[in-house]
Amino acid sequence: MMKEATYIPFTAQTGQNNKLADFLTEGARLVSETEPNTLYWYALKKADGSFGIFDFFSNEAGRAEHFAGQVAAALNANADTLVAQGWDDGVVANITNASVLSYKAPEKNSASATQATYIVLNAQPGKAQPLEQLLIGAATVVKQTEPKTLLWTSLKLNDHSYAIFDTFTDESGRDAHFSGKVAAALKLHADDLIVGGWENGVLKNVHHFEVIAKSVPDLFYQP
């Protein structure tokens, strides 16, 4: 069961984009080999060249284990060289922890994720509970109707802020998701539930990524 998630956006030092991407690829291998309680780990890159890590855990102990693990230690040791503003200001200051409300996990041996999306949603005053219930129920809809949406998660950031993180087989999977039933329901209720409505509260908060490395079940150790 996925219960916890962490997102960390960061930017490479000038001229270090390729080395940082290589570092994250090696990080995926280390996570797979040394962190059994890190359920999913994604290294991400945006079109503007910035990076991010998104990972999921079964509990708080799994998250603590991850931040005490080999990948975090290596990133700490190399941050001054690879990451703009270094470890404290470039990595730690950007950490966002969340609770997992609901999710669709990838089917075993499904296609590999190449694209990802992260969306932050701020609830209108007094509307946190209905927004939360919409997001909880959406996981089942995604599972039933979106085969190219591999991992779909709804997240609670705090008492009034929520998020969605999902991964896709390719761009066509992402396009299908944004024209699917969950997106339609979110659009229908956005003005009532979300600060800024659909255009300013949802679409302007969408972050698209390329998945450049990952550690997921069965990825590295196929039977």
pLDDT for residue 221: 35
Low-confidence ranges of the chain (pLDDT < 70): 109, 218-223
pLDDT for residue 161: 98
The two three-digit tokens of residue 116, written as one number:
């990802």
Please name which of 144, 135, 146, 154 lies closest in space to residue 179, comparing C-alpha atoms: 146
The two three-digit tokens of residue 109, written as one number:
């041996």
Find out whether 116 and 207 touch, Cβ atoms under 8 Å.
Answer: no
pLDDT for residue 198: 98
pLDDT for residue 217: 76
Cα separation, 3 vs 24, in Å, equals 24
Dihedral of the CA atoms 124, 130, 135, 141 (nearest 10)? -130
Cα separation, 184 vs 214, in Å, equals 29
∠ CA 83-11-23, rounded to 5°: 55
Cα separation, 208 vs 221, in Å, equals 28
pTM for the whole thing? 0.94
Instruction: Name the phi and psi angles at 197, rounded to 5.
Output: 65, -160
Cα separation, 104 vs 75, in Å, equals 30
Cα separation, 157 vs 58, in Å, equals 17
The two three-digit tokens of residue 196, written as one number:
């800024």
The two three-digit tokens of residue 217, written as one number:
């079940």
pLDDT for residue 218: 60
Instruction: Name the phi and psi angles at 69, rounded to 5.
Output: -90, -175
Dihedral of the CA atoms 37, 3, 52, 178 (nearest 10)? 130
The two three-digit tokens of residue 43, written as one number:
């290294």
pLDDT for residue 223: 27
Q: Residue 35 corresponds to which amino acid? A: E
